[in-house]
């Protein structure tokens, strides 16, 4: 059962990442700075993530204000604090090593997504959607 939950989390995460990276990549390609582009991309993705994780991954039913608040706190910390920090750090380390800002921004976003995914799963499982 636990493995099924992890598989569902990964499948939601893949879809969520496609949404996130699609918006992020489009905004960066349009000239929006990468740290700024992360905010609307992550916010859209987190909206999808809440409903998909609640109903599909962790299979919780009903409305629970505490659950929504905890989800937002965990996800926003990952999306608005951890991800921008990782994007900034990785971009700073890679700046000048690659030809395009877009490539650097996407590498930084991948690193940020991996770190925030581990953060999210751990805290969702423990506090937001506990068994």
- Provide the token pair at 122: 């751990």
> Given the structure tokens 């987190």, which residue do they identify?
46
| pLDDT by residue, tens only, the chain of 131 residues | 567 888 999 899 899 989 998 999 999 999 999 889 988 998 899 889 989 998 899 888 777 888 889 999 999 899 889 999 999 999 999 887 766 888 888 899 899 989 998 999 899 999 998 87
Task: Tell me if 43 sits within 8 A of 16, measured CB to CB.
Answer: no
CA 17 to CA 65: how far, in whole Å? Answer: 25
pLDDT of residue 98: 65
The verdict on pTM exceeding 0.85 is no
Q: Which residues of 88-123 are buried (b: 16+ CB within 10 A; e: fewer)?
A: eebbeeeeeeeeeeeebbbbbbebbbebbbebbbeb
């Amino acid at each position: 059962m636990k493995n099924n939950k992890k598989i569902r989390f990964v499948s939601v995460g893949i879809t969520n990442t496609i949404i996130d990276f699609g918006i992020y990549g489009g905004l960066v390609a349009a000239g929006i700075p990468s740290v700024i582009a992360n905010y609307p991309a992550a916010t859209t993705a987190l909206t999808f993530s809440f409903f998909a994780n609640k109903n599909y991954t962790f299979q919780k039913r009903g409305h629970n204000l505490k659950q929504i608040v905890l989800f937002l706190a965990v996800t926003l910390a990952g999306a608005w604090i951890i991800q921008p920090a990782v994007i900034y750090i990785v971009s700073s380390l890679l700046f000048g090593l690659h030809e395009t800002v877009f490539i650097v921004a996407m590498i930084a976003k991948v690193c940020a997504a991996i770190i925030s995914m581990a953060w999210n799963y751990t805290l969702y499982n423990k506090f937001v959607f506990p068994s």
